[in-house]
Structure formats: structure tokens, C-alpha cells
Amino acid sequence: MFRGKIASILEKELKDAKLSKSAIHEALEIPPSTEMGDYAFPCFSLAKVLRKNPSEIAKTLAVKIKPNQELEKTEAINGYVNFFLKKPVFAEEVVGRIFDEKEKFGHSDRGKGKKVVIESPGPNTNKPLHLGHMRNMALGISLSNIFKANGYKSINVDIINDRGIHIMKSLLAYKKFGKGKDPAKGHKPDHFVGDFYVLYSKEEKKNPKSKEKLQEELQSLLRKYEASDKETIYLLKRMNSWAVQGIQETYNRFGMHIDKAYYETEHFEKGKALIKEYEKKGLFEKEDDGSISINLEEEGLGKKVLLRADGTSIYITQDLYLALQRYKDFKPDKMIYVVGSEQIYHFKVLFTILKKLGFKFAENYYHLPYGMVYLPEGKMKSREGNVVDADNLMDETAALAKKEILRREPKLDKKDLDERAERIALGAINFFLIRYDALKDFTFNPEESISFEGETGPYIQYAHARASSILRKAEKEFNLKPKFNPRVLKLAEKEEHVLVRELSRFPSIVKDGAEKLKPDLIANYAYKLAQAFTDFYTNQKVLAEDTREREERLQLVAATRRVLANALALINIAALEKM
């Protein structure tokens, strides 16, 4: 939009600085107040190149850049060139484009013909998903949607961790106490498996002798598995199938779609073979104890064991194989791993090894790390059985949403109540999990997240519902459906202009969300847009007596409703017609 036009003007005037249009476009800012203009260009980085004071550069540019059909004026303020757009022209361009592009407003084809593969959330099959997995899914789903909006083909993959010591703990407890039972009707199968994981932990804590005996049995079970004992493998497959079934139900409820799942039991042996192959080629080292490693001291990553002395694999073993396999499967232009921040070192090692082995595609492999999620009671734990799992958290948040809905609409029928509460609850959870920078640790408070006021998902959903309500009322009372009509568009009032300006930002926010791997940009934009809309309809009468004012403001309401819906869709939140 106008950002690009301003960048072109500045590029022409800054030939001596040799700044590209894209660099200028990136540098343009939105001033905090409309009194400071609609766009601002900082001149501080030009001081060294042009050998002038930033304030002088800004003043010179402000004089050179003349008003035109779209630009009302420019001002130099403290080293910035501030651009003031003509409000009616600005409104016509922004609102017209939204009416024209509809659900595609904010989308682009900059990634056309390219593929991105996103790994998320990587569950273990010994327990249900918990709040940490929900943050992973919220980030993964949003990233996938944002890349699609930028024209990419987005492919969601999963790694199912269905073997290892923790999985065996559930299996051992089931062998000892499960009595061959299947999950009872109404008992979610992943919770059934998780109950045995908790039971193992409780048995282990009874006394030192009990712990020692259980650990001996656990090692015996592991050896049986490694030796392909039929009974052990049968039981493991049975329990894993229950866990995966339950996890899939949670995926479906949360809106997580997986295009391809990779199972650890199916590829860990291939990972071991790959390590041995490269060791024979002299690319990895065999240590005196029989383990295989790689020296990454020059890269500041130390020496990394790739295969243990006893021949058993570790995470890096299978991740090396999977990185190659996924490239064979999809030939992605980008591969993004959504994995907790405690694995930052692991992925630095993984990508470094791939590059040292000559795989150039690793230059486009990225790790999106994320921080811990806490509850008001403290850090989540799973072995003690006091973890707040995803299913229970969604149920609890939906129950809180029902109370809020009934307080506002006590006669709502049960079906509508249940459906609306579920969509509000999922919106509340998604927004809370995405609104922070991914690396930030934070405390999730269900009661705070479900509030219809403040920086929450329901607040944004309410703004969309409010816009829908205004449009229904306009149709009922005035038989009026908003259509784009530039002849009546002035939108010169402060709240109107602020809202138009906020709407204009959406395409660049979607672009930045993909380029910077930051879904929080979309979440925070949606909140600011909802705020601007609330200020607008609070201070300006939409269904005004004056026909022209009524028509232009309804166009603005319809445009805002559309952009709110588009933004919410990117972060996996339902845009509701009624709240």
C-alpha cells in the first residue's frame, strides 16, 4: 500500500545513500500517535553515510518531498521524516482493498512455489499432552497458517517418541498391575496409559528396595525389547496405539492437523546405521570405549557423542537420520523445528553436523525455541501425576467460559452454550499461548485468559461479534448492507483514521510473522485492532442520523470485521458472530 509508495519516494531522494527500496520499506515505522503522522522514516543510520546530522537529513528530505494526490504533508521531527497521508484517499485505498480481497486481505504470493516443513508437537506415548505441548501446537499451527498466507505450501510433520525409558515405565506398570485390561469406555486411552506412568512413579517412591527392584525389572524389559521379544513388542505396540489414539483426539479438538507422522520405533535403527556409515568414512570418530562422536570444539560446541558405547541411540542419532529423510520426502525450502528452549544446544549441533557433512539444505533448517509455561501453582510435572494436561485444561477453561456466557445470556440453549463456550475457551488458550515472544517464560492463568476484557482472546472475539451485531442491526433497521462506495468515504475523525491506519498494517504484519517466525506479531496486532475498533464505536455513532456518515462508518465496520476474522484465523481462533 502506501508504505511501498513512500519507500519509492525516499529511494529516489536517497540515491547518494545507496539504500534499497526494501531496506527503506523495512525501516519505515508507524508513529505512536496520529499527531506524528502515518509513517515515519528514521534518518539516524544515514548520518555516517551522508556525513550529516540526522535532524539535518530529515529537514532536507521533508523540504524535498512535496505533497501530492496522496500525501498531505511531511514534517521533520527529531531526526525523523514524518509522512501525513490525505485521510479520504488513505481510507479509500485501505477499505477498498479489504472489500476487494476479502479473506485474502493480508495474504501474498511471496512464497509461491516454495515449501516449508514444520515439526510440532513431538509427543511421548507414555502420557497425555500437557500445557507445554499446547504452547508447541499453538505456535506450530499459527506458523503453518502464516506461511500459507504468504504463499508457501506448508507441511506439518510430527515425531512420535514411542520408545525409550519413560515409555517402558508405563509398560512395566501395565504388566504388573494392568491385568490385561483395555481402556474402559469413557476413559480416554492416552490418560489410561498415563495412569500407569504415574503408578510406576508412585511405586518407585515407596522405599529404596522397591525402587531398586523396579529399576532392575525396567532394564530387563528394555533388554527384551532390544532383543525383539515378541510379548514385549506386542504390549508396547498395544499401549502406544492407545496413547496415539488419545493424543489424536486432543489434536482434533485443538485444531492440530498432521500431514505426516514419523515414529521413533520405525527409524531409530536406521539412525544408528547412518552414524556407523559415516564413522567408517572417517567423518565421525570411534572412541576407546566404543562410542562414536564428532569433535565440534572449533565451532564452540565441544565434543558430541552420536552413538553410545553400548550401541544404543540418543536423540541426535535419530534426528540426523530424520533430517535427511524429511529432505528426501519433501525437498523443503525451509524446515522449522518447534521445540523447547532447553534443546537450543541440540539443534545447533544437529545443523552444524549436517553442514559439515555437506548438506547445503541445512542452511535453511531452523529451530524455533520456546520457553516454559507455568501455572499459578508452579512448574508442571508429569511423573508425580499433578500435571495439568491439555484435555483437563480445555475442559476447565470451557467451564469458565460457560459461566461468563450465562452471566450475559442466561437463557441460551445448551447446544449453543456448549459450542460457544468451547470456541471461546480455545480462543482464550491459543491467544494466551501465542501473545508472548516464543522464548519468554510465563504463567498461564485460566481465569485471566477467559476474561472478555483486557488483553485476551475473548476480547478480540467480542470485537468481531460486536462488529457482526452492528451489521445485523443496520440490515434490520435500515435494510442496509455495506458495499464499497468511495464517494462517501471521508473517515476524517481521529478514531476513524486510527482504525484505518491499523487496518492498513495487516499485510506487513503477516509478512513479518513469516520472515521473523513470530506468531506473537499477529496476536498482538489483533488485540490492537480490537482496541482501535472499540475506541471507534464507543466515540463515533455508527448508525448515525446522517446517511453519508452511516454508510461510510458501516463500510469501516465491515472492513474491520473482515480483518479481525483474517487475523484470528491465522492464530487458530474462531471469529464468533455472537458472544
How many CA atoms lie less than 13 Å away from 493 in the CB half-sphere? 16
Domain boundary among 305, 321, 337: 321
Please state, in angstroms and as integers, the Cα–Cα distance from residue 170 to each residue in 197, 203, 245, 248, 473, following that order: 4, 12, 16, 19, 57
Whether residue 262 is contained in a domain is answered as no
DSSP alpha helix (H) spans, 76-130? 87-101
Whether residue 530 is contained in a domain is answered as yes
Calculated CA dihedral for residues 102, 107, 108, 113, nearest 10 degrees: -110
- Please say whether the beta carbons of 444 and 432 come within 8 A: yes
434 shares a domain with 542: yes
pLDDT at 490: 87
439 shares a domain with 313: no
pLDDT at 386: 56
295 shares a domain with 430: no
Phi, psi of 306 (to 5 degrees): -105, -25
pLDDT at 265: 92
399 shares a domain with 308: no
Spatial CA neighbour of 237 closest among 114, 376, 125, 110: 125
d(CA 91, CA 97): 10
546 shares a domain with 459: yes
Residue 315 corresponds to which amino acid? Y
Domain boundary among 61, 85, 109: 85
428 shares a domain with 304: no
pLDDT at 261: 98
pLDDT at 382: 45
**Burial classification of residue 108, based on how many CB atoms lie within 10 Å of its CB (0-12 exposed, 13-18 middle, 19 or more buried):** middle
Instruction: Please give the radius of gyration of the chain, using alpha carbons only, rounded to the nearest integer.
Output: 28
CATH label of the domain that carries residue 527 = 1.10.730.10
404 shares a domain with 532: yes
519 shares a domain with 412: yes
Rounded to the nearest angstrom, the gap between the alpha carbon of residue 295 and the centroid of all alpha carbons in its chain is 35
399 shares a domain with 287: no
- How many structural domains are present in the chain? 3
Query: Beta-strand (E) ranges in 178-289?
Result: 260-263, 285-286
Spatial CA neighbour of 95 closest among 576, 565, 492, 563: 563
pLDDT at 130: 93
Whether residue 177 is contained in a domain is answered as no
CATH label of the domain that carries residue 11 = 3.30.1360.70
Whether residue 174 is contained in a domain is answered as no
Q: Digits of tens for pLDDT over the chain (579 positions)?
A: 788 899 999 999 998 888 899 999 989 999 988 899 999 999 999 999 999 999 999 999 999 999 999 999 999 999 999 999 999 999 999 999 999 999 999 999 999 999 999 999 999 999 999 999 999 999 999 999 999 999 999 999 999 999 988 999 999 999 999 999 999 888 999 999 999 999 999 998 888 888 889 999 998 998 888 888 999 999 999 999 999 999 999 999 999 999 999 999 999 999 999 999 999 999 999 999 999 999 999 999 999 999 999 888 899 999 999 999 999 999 999 999 999 999 999 999 999 999 999 999 999 999 999 999 988 775 544 445 556 799 999 999 999 999 999 999 999 999 999 999 999 999 999 999 999 999 999 999 989 999 999 999 999 999 999 999 999 999 999 998 999 998 888 888 999 999 999 999 999 999 999 999 999 999 999 999 999 999 999 999 999 989 999 999 999 999 999 999 999 999 999 999 998
Domain boundary among 70, 85, 100: 85
d(CA 65, CA 6): 10
Whether residue 249 is contained in a domain is answered as no
Q: Render the burial of 252-263: b for 16+ CB within 10 Å, e for the rest.
A: eebebeeeeebb
403 shares a domain with 281: no
d(CA 335, CA 326): 9
d(CA 470, CA 162): 51
Spatial CA neighbour of 573 closest among 142, 157, 144: 142
d(CA 147, CA 140): 11
Whether residue 46 is contained in a domain is answered as yes
Rounded to the nearest angstrom, the gap between the alpha carbon of residue 307 and the centroid of all alpha carbons in its chain is 33
Full domain range(s) for residue 39: 2-85
Whether residue 259 is contained in a domain is answered as no
313 has which bridge partners?
307
pLDDT at 388: 77
Where is 39: in which H helix or E strand? strand 39-42
280 shares a domain with 429: no
Angle between helices 520-539 and 547-570 (to 10 degrees): 160
Q: Write out the three cell numbers for 490.
A: 471521508
Spatial CA neighbour of 117 closest among 266, 336, 268, 292: 336
413 shares a domain with 280: no
Q: Transcribe 498-540 into DSSP letters.
A: HHHHHHHTHHHHHHHHHHTT-THHHHHHHHHHHHHHHHHHHHS
Whether residue 422 is contained in a domain is answered as yes
